[in-house]
Chain A
């Protein structure tokens, strides 16, 4: 089998006596959606921070397409090909939707130290940003400031910015949060199509969405991965049922 796109090997992270991440190993293969689920406080956010580079592990390594990226900073990892969305929408509030995506494009091209040419008159940049907005259905809202977009639109804009990075893999942190039933129903086929662009590591609370989308699911409980497998396997796993799914009945 080919190398995994994203490869976590034995990640550990403690905060004082709290072991937030304990020996987590996980792979994301080309073309798959790998969902990460777990009850509140299981350590999902810490694991996301370890992958994105915001937090450094006490032990273990992170690999992206065969390159070790453990020592890289957040912006370096983004340039290496990690495209993430945030659990709570994180945008440039004073910029229009279009300009948010243009900023991501500018970052991908690596040309932020340009002092003369007006960026908003860059037709090629505008056109590509517009295409990414159209793809998530935000085309008609291109000129609206991010601060006044609705909650659901902000979630979509996060995804459009991740698209603009053309990453090697996507990290989506609860993209369905607060979208409501219809929003989630629209996003599911979109994500299913998107995994052909790049594989997706999906942290999500919506179990129905996870079971519909995920090729593989890993269950994180108190910092450890207690099971990894297909939807049927996870549903049938007695340990998972006891600690996690059991809560929902």
Chain B
């Protein structure tokens, strides 16, 4: 069996397991497991976003928690104002997910455009540090913003709503997150296969060659970075609704690191890399977190092993090296 078919089979298994396990848990009345699966799906959405920048474009953003936080605060602030009935900046609050998601993606995209325009003139360690610096700015801004909870964070008393669903029920909210994940994965696959993806991946491999045939690396990377931030921002809004709480911790640099770890564990640039990575991360958290509070030590060892021996992450280990035609 060739590697492409292996990868599609593995993707189908992962997609099936992420649906099947919570389905079983729902039938067996284990809402905790349904919630874990929802967490995996939402982290995977955030990871797909980062995978556009990091995996396709080679832009190692160490500040993607910023977009997660922006999405989270959009959801929290909208719900807060819907609850209090007071408008914010002339806009009425809302408890509807669709306008919240649109606003989360719009704001994340604008911020990613600014961050990208300033940081994409650098590369390597400087790019990593500048993206980190912007995320830290967001973190400290949220920390010192008393109107929305400051360091205590902002609770969402009732999960925001989606037409036709009762989002307070774990299984229905999971189905929503899972559907969004599938849509986002489809968007990633389309972008990667299209001319834009061809240009973005070429720039990652050899920016001088891309420039010499007339493709401007800066413009392509900036658009990739904005798309990446928008998808991670969407995940942030959903994450806030999952935990019904948003706090500056969502923008902490450790969160940015976790997103990178998800991509590396799953497979950089691979379609289902973020799904595999998020499942591994949450799995470790649950199984080893129950045994010892030092579970991150074991995660660190696995990460070390992946970086040393399995550069393609879980997807690469099973399905081999990626082929780009």
Contact = CB atoms under 8 A, between A and B. Distances in A.
A73 B195 CA distance: 22
A178 interface: no
B214 A113 contact: no
Nearest to A158: B209
Contact of B212 (A84, A99, A106): A84
B49 to A, nearest CB: 15
Contacts of B242: none
Interface of A: 52, 73-76, 78-79, 84, 86, 90-96, 98-99, 102-104, 106-108, 110-120, 161, 165
A231 B210 CA distance: 35
Contact of A90 (B190, B206, B324): B206
Contact of A93 (B206, B214, B217): B206
Contact of A92 (B193, B202, B214): B202
B152 interface: no
A106 B206 contact: no
Contacts of B197: 119
B216 A75 contact: yes
B211 A74 contact: yes
Contacts, number: 109
Contacts of A118: 190, 193-194
Contact of B205 (A93, A116, A119): A93
Given A75-B215, A79-B214, A92 B196 contact: no
Contacts of A93: 205-206
Mostly helix, strand, loop or mixed at chain B's interface? helix
B185 interface: no
A201 B221 CA distance: 32
A158 to B, nearest CB: 9
A107 B322 CA distance: 24
B214 A78 contact: yes
Nearest to B202: A92
Nearest to B190: A116
A130 to B, nearest CB: 13
A76 B325 CA distance: 27
9 smallest CB-CB distances across A and B, nearest first, come from: A78-B214, A118-B193, A79-B214, A112-B199, A114-B195, A74-B211, A107-B214, A107-B213, A75-B216
A119 B209 contact: no
B223 interface: yes
A115 B212 contact: no
A93 B207 CA distance: 12
Given A106-B195, A114-B196, A115-B196, A92 B215 contact: no
B271 to A, nearest CB: 14
Contacts of B202: 92, 95, 103
Given A74-B211, A103-B213, A165-B213, 6 more contacts: A75-B215, A78-B214, A94-B322, A99-B325, A103-B198, A115-B194
B30 interface: no
Given A73-B216, A91-B206, A113-B223, A119 B198 contact: yes
Contacts of B205: 92-95
B201 interface: yes
Contacts of B193: 118-120
